[in-house]
Structure 1
């Protein structure tokens, strides 16, 4: 769910000290940061489960904790002198006090809206400055720079020429817009971070601690390791499975790439290709249901639609994305003459599932609750609670015996399911409390409790960069709301698209890719969807499809040179140029570039509006037809990109394959018929030529 913590990758490697996991610092300062992270998680979990505080208070405290933990970790991991450490800790506590101020004076601030006191202005100014500094330190300069340009526009936009001029705003109005209320820093992005994203990041952390990564790796290795290009296929499948719980991108490259990239290189893949496979598959985790990336939750909240609708729209595109990865690995392996791993040496995938099947229960519960119409907050909380029950129950199973524990476990699950509509969270809370008391009585149980506490701390640390990005991007949203500059951009796109929708789509795509050169997917999506989303909607693009279009190209920006974050994250592991990896990744991610365009012209690809085929034959037939076209297009583009199908392809064959794929996507009169005919001719001629070459040899 989270973007990678820049500060963690830049921090020096440290050895666990005094029982603390790495990543928090050493000594007393490390213990303080660790404790803050645990309290942060407990605060967010409590408010998610019981919702006792007003939303404005939860948002302000969420930002306060982000600033306290963020500056605390900067002090512990980056500061090189005692004075610098004191300075950053001081900034962190000031940031936390801004949240406490909003909590203590919550009612007073509401009552004096429009008439802020001098203290309010000081606190608001301090909050904005600290959010900018935290963003610069944690997320890098580009995002803070973009937000700073928007903020300066609020102050000085009244001096610009038309059409960019606005009426002008005084200092107090700007501070109130950004630092109080729900239009700036405490806007929708930070609400989603506090309500949804944090829960799912902690959920993923607990699942990882419970052994879900090992299960996914063993399952992927056993299932596809023997296929042609086995190690690369394992990377694709394991990243797809990891995407179902984490939705992270660059962080997945660093985590799983340590294992998959060296394995691919030893097997015979080129370093650039090995790095590209890991980068492409890991970034696909953000579009892989059911959890997807943090953007999916922001999208659901922005569009005011159930999260399940976002998941449904993403199912087929996610299948096509990873299917394209599998297919191009298959072709590249054939071109290089590579087979698969020795099946006898691989683990049994189904044995791994039988051994660790309880880990699938929280994920199954999550999927059921999301599609049953429950809120993501409730679904994530219940999934997390079940995971905690599983982790705490493991030492008890060893103590009382597996059979007795199974009886107790299923009895508790049965009772919870029977009354969970009304008392689900309360029942699981009591079960967790009972398990904690039981585990505290013996050594193995206490070790398990320590693992849970570490998971709380690491979950908060993993959620930190996402939360900071959501806070700083509130400056951009607040500017768009205050000044109305978005309408100028929307009018520009509409003026182009009323005659040429394709040009508007290309313009939107380029905007996403350019923004993505310096900022993560979340602010990229929020900025671009605020500018281009309404314009695409005006041009007739369905609501969810228009936002998914922006979402996809925000992800593609992390794979596209010259600044491909995922590719450069894989570069040190692959020992290859990040630029070369980015070029290979752009080829592998062909579905990510094409599917959004296909969905605009044929929304059935995202299970949206029905088209002419549905009117004649029914909606399922249209979906199947669109899926067939998309799959055939991916087959052709993969062959054209790699230069291999049944054998090495000639240049004219690759051009024919590329043209046939484009005809299938264009969705114009007779282009489908021409595309199918050209595809059949291309594949037939290439098969005949390859068979002829084999007979001649």
Structure 2
């Protein structure tokens, strides 16, 4: 059974397991009835149960009974942490025979479940770290550790808070799951239609319009689901065939969608799972991560937008006829109520509430909106009239009298009046389906978070990160650019086999502390790693987003991946600019003027680099001109007063020269 299949086709028993999983996560998030360690363990237990029952293939044959047996073993063993919670706390570090059995079985099941869900690359990497923990004492040189007992390794990985149940699993079992569920409800309520119509109406008729629609709609969807692959398989179903119909090659259409979709992971307010893990790892409020990400996210999508604009001009590709494009304002008027949960979520995040609380309220607003319509649809006309005016009056005073949460609850109920004419009889069915969708979509993230705990546990136990950092600092201590380049290569190489979350966890554990010691601000150093973890997901030969787009585009994932890198290539300069000019991430700046200057400089650098990579601006650009603008962009990135002056002078000369030359070409053509 393919792991990307729709949950609508799930067998009934697995479907209800998925629903129960979502209900458990919502209940524990809202009321916190049990300890965090128990929530993490049962979260992993649900994940193991679902993966083994969804993918019961053994030795080339499907054996559902064996899948259920292994899944139930993982699920039942997860309750060991709940039943014996006090005993485990009292004898922390002292392993009994039962502890060893449970620990070994859970580790083995997590490895196998990850292989089934994510492929072999991540288990191999984590397996190497596990072998290092077990036998690293026999290595020659400075990487040898003092040696650790088998029971100590199992205790760290299976029962501590630095192994399988470490920070990534904590984040997966709280923030990530809720936000995936939040996106699932909004998608089923019609958010994809709203964003697609909005994108089509605003940019569909411009040059290269279909490709720009992909960039805009994927960016908007990224604000609610934070998943690159999920964006590809949702918005891509519409945008990729549209691009192909208007002359774009299959590979380029898939590449544009893959690039745009991956940007959803850095697009506030929800961003991707890594953002929540980062906030917990470096112990800063989530809103600080959002503030640091907002400008780079806009620049990322500007990069994709600009590149497709240039390619469309070079290939002579035009947009859709304006009369075929929907009216964006009509789309907003029709579906504005869907924005209420999103606006409420953003308001709470920026009001200082935690992501867990904000996500719970955002999900609650969505449910209130949907079920409110079903509830009030049975009221009489007079009752509806009185309810409407009562809620309207409460909304006018709600923010002042009752606070932001009550205000948004009232607004959600008010908006529910607009949904009465919708098919309220389907509300309960759609809501249950959304619960199953959310659980199903959370599986790849959750199992990856569990397995990379092996890496974190071994790194913290052995201290290998400090040794690795010392080696890289020795290479790059006198050259920050070299250290940045080595970190980038590490992210890209790792990205050839594993997705963004484990990529970030590995490289942030090894490389981010190095950048910090070299003077890079804390958030900037982690965002640098995060950013290239995203770029790694577009890197051949293994690029998850590209391969997700392949069946839709009807071409190979490798061809799509190459095109995706061409679209996103200018985006490689943004992380470097942020390191040399932290104001780009709203860090270490003295005035708003400094931020504005850095942003303007970044925009011009991206414009020039886009011209260099596509060979087109107003007209085709010659080879020597492409080299020239590449150097000009590099001068702007360098962030030195002299290099800035050189870069601005080179930029001005090129723009004047190119404008005059393009006017000459147009005159000859006329």
CA deviation map 1:91-135 (0-9, x unaligned): 111111121111111011000112221111111111111111111
Aligned to 2:320: 341
2: CA distance, partners of 1:93 / 1:422: 43
Equivalent of residue 655 in structure 1, options 607, 619, 627: 627
Give secondary structure in 2 for the equivalent of 1:570.
helix
Shift, 1:603, TM fit:
0.2
Q: Which runs of 4+ in 1 moved over 3 A?
A: 77-82, 395-425, 442-446
User: 1:655-690: CA deviations, max 9, x gaps?
Assistant: 111111111001124000000111111121111112
Q: In structure 1, which of residues 619, 622, 628 is the aligned counterpart of residue 600 of structure 2?
A: 628
Deviation at 1:584, TM superposition (A): 2.0
Question: Which of 22, 27, 40 is the aligned partner of 1:59?
Answer: 40
| Cα distance in 2, alignment partners of residues 182 and 224 from structure 1 | 48
Matches of residues 196-275 of structure 1 in structure 2 within 5 Å?
A: 196-275=175-254
Q: Name 2:609's counterpart in structure 1.
A: 637
TM-score normalised according to structure 1 size: 0.91
Aligned length: 660
What is the CA distance between 1:422 and its match in structure 2?
11
Aligned partners of 1:525 and 1:368: how far apart in 2? 28
Q: 1:215-614 alignment to 2 at 5 Å? A: 215-396=194-375, 398-400=377-379, 406-407=388-389, 410=392, 445-610=424-589, 614=590
In structure 2, the CA distance between the partners of 1:656 and 1:48, relative to structure 1 (3 Å rule), is same
Shift of 1:472: 0.2
User: CA separation in 2, counterparts of 1:463 and 1:573?
Assistant: 22
CA contact (8 A) 1:590 1:634 kept: no
Distance of 2:58 and 2:349 partners within structure 1? 40
User: Which of 398-407 and 121-130 deviates more?
Assistant: 398-407
- The alpha-carbon deviation at position 396 of structure 1 amounts to 4.3
Comparing 34-43 with 574-583, greater Cα deviation is found at 574-583
Is 1:8 aligned to 2:3, yes or no? Answer: yes
> How far apart are the structure 1 equivalents of 2:392 and 2:155?
53
Q: Give the Å deviation of 1:579.
A: 2.6
Structure 1 residue 409: deviation in Å?
5.3
Is 1:47–2:19 an aligned residue pair?
no
Residue 576 of structure 1: CA displacement? 2.8
Question: Within 5 Å, which residues of 2 pair with 1:18-167?
Answer: 22-24=8-10, 30-75=11-56, 84-167=63-146
The Cα of 1:571 is off from its aligned counterpart by 2.4
1:692 aligns with 2:664: yes
CA–CA distance in structure 2, aligned partners of residues 409 and 248 of structure 1: 36
Instruction: Output one character per residue of 1:56-78: Cα deviation in whole Å (capped at 9) or x when no partner.
Output: 11111111111112212113x89
Report the CA distance shift for 1:403/1:589 in structure 2 as closer, same or farther (over 3 A). farther
Partner Cα separation in structure 1 for residue 404 and residue 626 of structure 2: 60
Aligned partners of 1:419 and 1:381: how far apart in 2?
22
Residue 27 (structure 1) aligns with: none
In 2: Cα distance, 1:392 partner to 1:408 partner = 19
Tell me if the contact between 2:374 and 2:425 (Cα under 8 Å) persists in the aligned partners. Answer: no
Determine the C-alpha separation between the residues in 2 that align with 1:397 and 1:642: 56
CA distance in 1 between counterparts of 2:518 and 2:215 reads 36
Question: Is the contact between residue 8 and residue 433 of structure 2 (CA under 8 Å) also seen in structure 1?
Answer: no
Counterpart of 1:670 in 2: which secondary structure? helix
Structure 1 residues not aligned, in runs of 5+: 1-5, 15-20, 25-29
Taking a change above 3 Å as real, the CA distance of residues 444 and 581 of structure 1, as seen in their structure-2 partners, is closer
Structure 1 window deviating more from structure 2 (263-272 vs 359-368): it is 263-272
Change (3 A) 1:253 1:423: closer
**Structure 1 residues 445, 250: closer, same or farther in 2, change over 3 A?**
closer
> Per-residue displacement from partner, 1:189-240 (whole Å, max 9, x unpaired)?
0000011100000000000111111111111111111111111111100001
For structure 2, the 5+ residue unaligned runs are none
CA deviations 1:347-370 (Å, max 9, x no partner) are 110111111111111000100110
Distance in 2, matches of 1:281 and 1:356, equals 23
The 1:344/1:147 distance shift into structure 2, 3 A limit, reads: same
CA, structure 1 residues 312+272, in 2 after alignment: closer, same or farther (shift >3 Å)? same
Distance, in Å, in 2 between the alignment partners of 1:104 and 1:195 is: 21
Among residues 651, 655, 658, which one is paired with 1:683 in the alignment?
655
Contact 1:320-1:591 at 8 Å conserved across structures: no
> In the aligned structure 1, how far is the partner of 2:267 from the partner of 2:538?
17
Q: Give the superposed CA RMSD.
A: 2.4
Q: Could you say if the C-alpha distance between residues 626 and 443 of structure 1 is closer, same or farther in structure 2, counting changes exceeding 3 Å?
A: closer
8 Å contact 1:79–1:85 — kept in the other structure? Answer: no
For 1:293 and 1:664, locate their aligned partners in 2 and report how far apart those are by CA, in whole Å: 30
Superposed CA deviations along residues 488-515 of structure 1, whole A, max 9, x for unmatched, are 1111121122201111101110110011
- The residue that corresponds to 1:670 in the other structure is 642
Residues 455 and 679 (structure 1 numbering): CA distance in 2 closer, same or farther, change over 3 Å?
same
Give the Cα separation in 2 of the matches to 1:496 and 1:130.
40
What is the rounded CA distance, in whole Å, between the counterparts of 1:417 and 1:32 in structure 2? 44
Deviation (angstroms), 1:142: 0.4
1:587 CA displacement: 2.0
Q: 1:414 to 1:460 in 2, by over 3 A?
A: farther
Residues 7 and 137, structure 1, Cα contact 8 Å, conserved in 2: no
Structure 1 residue 397: Cα displacement: 5.3
Q: Whole-Å Cα distance in 1 between the matches of residues 531 and 550 of structure 2? A: 23
Indicate how the Cα distance of structure 1 residues 327 and 452 shifts in structure 2: closer, same or farther if over 3 A, else same: same
CA distance in structure 2 between the partners assigned to 1:350 and 1:45 by the alignment = 35
TM-score w.r.t. structure 2 length?
Answer: 0.94
Measure the CA separation in 1 of the matches of 2:545 and 2:247.
22
In the aligned structure 1, how far is the partner of 2:422 from the partner of 2:199? 34
